[in-house]
């Protein structure tokens, strides 16, 4: 069992740097889009649930 765990960890360690690079790239793309559309923390505040005058929903749909 321990040998299988070590083998799995080795495989994971081989792919971890690549996965990290992909995650950083995707995060950068998302943050760039948020900045371009001027999405802020206010856009994620609680709403009534009806969607009327929901600034966050409107921004994220763009």
- For 53: left if phi > 0, alpha if psi spans -120 to 50, otherwise beta; the answer is left
If one counts every other C-beta atom within 10 angstroms of the C-beta of residue 59, the result is: 16
For residue range 19-41, list pLDDT tens digits in order.
Answer: 999 999 999 999 998 899 888 87
What pLDDT, on the 0 to 100 scale, is given for residue 45? 74
If one counts every other C-beta atom within 10 angstroms of the C-beta of residue 55, the result is: 14
Domain ranges of the chain: 2-61
């Amino acid at each position: 069992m321990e040998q299988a765990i070590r083998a799995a960890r080795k495989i994971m360690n081989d792919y971890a740097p690549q996965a990290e690079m992909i995650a950083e790239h995707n995060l950068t793309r998302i943050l760039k889009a948020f900045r371009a559309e001027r999405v802020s923390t206010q856009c994620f505040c609680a709403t009534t649930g009806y969607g009327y005058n929901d600034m966050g929903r409107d921004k994220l749909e763009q």
